[in-house]
A and B are shown apart, each in its own frame.
Chain A
Amino acid sequence: MTVTEDYIDASGGDWDEVIEKAQATSAERLVVNMGPQHPSTHGVLRLVLTLDGETCTEARVGIGYLHTGIEKNMEFRTWTQGTTFVTRMDYLTPLFNEAAYCLAVEKLLGITDRIPERADVIRVMMMELNRMASHFVAMATFGMELGATTIMTNGFREREMILDIFELVTGLRMNHAYIRPGGVAQDLPPGAVGKIQELLKEMPERIKIMRKLLDENPIYLARTRDIAHLNLPGCMALGVTGPLLRASGLAWDLRKAKPYCGYENYEFDVPVSDGGDVYARYRVRMAELEESLKIVEQCLDKLRPGPVMIEDAKIGWPAKLALGPDGMGNSPDHIAHIMSSSMEALIHHFKLVTEGFRVPAGQAYAAVESAKGELGCYAVSDGGTRPHRVHFRDPSFTHLQAVAAMCEGGTVADVIAAVASIDPVMGGVDR
């Protein structure tokens, strides 16, 4: 803690001491640390705020507290094992991470057109469910940070419905590693379609309740309207995409502009709002929930029986799993096939699992419209069984740069609203 004529730097100090020293000096400005351990900074985000009374005159962001070296670790595992790492980056949008990674690997392999249709439909369905789950958390944590716990409990309750579906389909509530290069890890289990139909029936009502609670809520409006404004040129300069960009009035969505996984076959709108403030971002997310429901409904209509993994014995991992006494594993049919009827199948299985597949040398960039914005994966192969380099352009990482533009000149309380409206997840920011 340092005290000068000009400012009091309270980082790392004791509050009693700060107050005592503040009273003794004529300095008007106070520098405080918000985070990295603070319930309303979305994980381990550190904000260094310079305060002049209630006004925040400078906001600086410190990140890196959750850096886990995922990109480096991936260089020491096979291409398929990579999905297990990327799913842990932005832990609220695991399926988007996997999809971006797998699309990049598939581009490198040149098999983009050979992904089975059923796998694409399942991918789209899972991604849209994931978008809803992520938006629910965004709104829930936002409500909590403003002091409205009902929004928090409601948001997490709705998300739980989606997590139940994820658990049924992938076996896990998060960190799924479900989307794999060539398709998905396994087909939908019996009962999954029924459970999704249940969600489709129940969810519109739940969204309506959320809207009733927030859309016209005077307290909510006071805390969100004209707060943390970011206009379109600001978004462009700072590389802001996703709901934040659409809340500034530009209907830009990669699902429409550069369709992947067959998004061109679905009917949905791109919600836009032109407020450019926290409330506009809320409106866009809310409308996106409804659009996602539409897409999930169309996915169920499009589901046709068929394979869910590419029919290429040198790339496609066995995707017919079954539940055994010791947990999920290869189905007895597959084991019988490789152990007693096909020598080639055994060789392929062995090579795939121990060595992995080789990916032709080169580079590829694949981007998906994640719940937070453009999530890009840049993959470089040197022709081996492991990536030479994989880099993720995480939307949260890019968007956090906008904190200064959104917060400076506003009040301290609005800093919380601004950061929450960006919806950053530090797992993705730091990777």
Chain B
Amino acid sequence: MSTDNERERNEEAARLPDQLGRERLAAPVRRTGMFGTSTTGDTSGFGRLRVRGSAPVSAERPYTDPDDPRTADFDRVADDLEAALGENAGAVERVEVARGEITFHVRRESLPRLARLLRDEPSLRYELCLGVTGVHFPEDTDRELHAVYHFRSITHNSEIRVSTTCPDSDPHIPSIVSVYPTNDWHEREAWDFFGIVFDGHPALTRIQMPDDWQGHPQRKDYPLGGIPVEYRGATVPPPDERRAYK
């Protein structure tokens, strides 16, 4: 009984503004100033403003919102996936439900197993994989590179997103080409643009950039490039060096 009380007290303490405020201050800074300028002074009067990122959200059951028809089958899909995974249910780190879309964040090592279940399990039957794409979050320490997959079930007319991550220092994610052959080129593109190595891909070579290209252009640390353009005596800097509102 006393432990229950204690837990309740702790939970209450976690909700206190003071505690929440401290958590907020510990979050990483995403932007400073009103407009995120770096070249010239911020004249908006908000120069010392710090905008902090928020912790990743994790959806709570039920995933289906009765007011949003787009979410109608989310609980069914999550249940079926959980049942199919069985004792490997830990493969799904968290579930995100937002904007009428469901995202399963999974550990990279479980991806091929999960893909096979998504395709073969009669209750799931995601026949179509809509490819994979990378997203680079340099500030997301140890999870810098995200690989995002979309799956579509024609049998159940359902759509889900599966997201997995890998650190910059070890950019490896298992390939699912053996399950979904359509991912062949998509994985090559993600390798080409982000440097994610898909282990087990039959021929992981560059696809858009020339074979001898250095670097992976869609990463955030790769500059856009461009040269200043002179027009009637004035110079217009390239797009990534222009003063802009971020």
B133 within 8 A of A: yes
In the assembled complex, the Cα of A378 lies from the Cα of B130 at a distance in Å of 11
In the complex, are the beta carbons of B185 and A398 less than 8 A apart?
Answer: yes
* B204 contacts partner chain A, Cβ-Cβ < 8 Å: no
B99 contact from A76, A240, A362, Cβ within 8 A: A362
> CA–CA, A227 to B67, complex, Å?
49
The contact string, 1 if C-beta is below 8 Å from chain A, for chain B 210-246, is 1000000110000010000000000000011000111
Give Cα distance in the complex from A388 to B224, angstroms.
14
| Known A73-B239, A239-B182; contact A258-B159, beta-carbon cutoff 8 A | yes
B135: A residues at CB distance < 8 A: 380, 388-389
Question: Which residues of the other chain, A, contact B240 by a CB distance below 8 angstroms?
Answer: 76
**A70 to nearest B CB, angstroms?**
11
Q: How many A-B residue pairs have CB under 8 A?
A: 109
Contacts of B181 in A (CB 8 A): 237-238, 401
A53 on the interface (CB 8 Å rule)? no
Residues of A within 8 A of B99 (CB): 107-108, 110, 362, 364
List of A residues within 8 angstroms of B218 by Cβ: 71-72, 389
Is A33 an interface residue, CB under 8 A from the partner? Answer: no
Interface residues of B in 126-182 (CB under 8 A from A): 127-131, 133, 135-136, 148, 150, 152, 154, 157, 159, 161, 180-182
Q: How far is the CA of A72 from the CA of B31 in the complex (A)?
A: 21
Please measure, in the bound complex, the distance between the C-alpha atom of A69 and the C-alpha atom of B98, giving whole angstroms: 29
Interface size class of B (residues with CB under 8 A): 35 or more
- Provide the residues of chain B in CB contact with A374, threshold 8 Å: 130, 152
In the complex, A384 Cα to B133 Cα: how many Å?
Answer: 21
A363 to B98, CA, bound (A): 8
Q: Closest Cβ of chain A: how far from B39's Cβ, in Å?
A: 15
A356 at the interface (CB under 8 A from B): yes
Give the distance to chain B from A104, nearest Cβ to Cβ, in Å.
Answer: 10
**A430: Cβ under 8 A from any B Cβ:** yes
- How near does chain B come to A351, taking the closest CB pair, in angstroms? 9
In the complex, B184 has a CB within 8 A of chain A: yes
Binding site for B on A (CB under 8 A): 63-64, 67, 69, 71-73, 75-77, 107-108, 110, 236-241, 250, 252, 257-258, 354-356, 361-365, 367, 374, 376, 378, 380, 382-386, 388-389, 391, 393, 397-398, 400-401, 430-431
